[in-house]
Amino acid sequence: MLYDRRLNVSVKIKGKAKEAAGNVIGRDQQKAEGFLDQARGKVKEVASDAKDKVEDVVEDVKEKLDK
């Protein structure tokens, strides 16, 4: 889980850097790729958070059923 979070943050940071570089050198394609990398990282981050919440709910249900 922590690894996934770090990976998602690194994808977003890479995207920001790529977008910034595209702005500096005036390459629209590179700016777009950076924006997409950031979006990919955010989607993965949200999916990872949802997965964690589902796992927590499953654990809670299991605990209640065991009682």
Note the pTM of the prediction, 2 decimals: 0.75
pLDDT of residue 5: 80
Number of domains into which the chain is organized: 1
Q: Which tens digits make up the pLDDT trace of 2-30?
A: 778 888 889 999 999 999 999 999 999 99
pLDDT of residue 55: 96
Q: What is the rounded CA–CA span in Å between residue 16 and residue 20? A: 6
Please report, to the nearest 10 degrees, the dihedral formed by the alpha carbons of residues 17, 23, 25, 26 taken in order: 140
The range of the structural domain enclosing residue 7 comes to 2-66
Average pLDDT over residues 36-63: 94
pLDDT value at 46 more than 90: yes
pLDDT value at 67 more than 80: no
Find all residues with CB under 8 Å of 15, minimum gap 6, and list them: 33, 34, 35, 36, 37, 38, 39, 40, 41
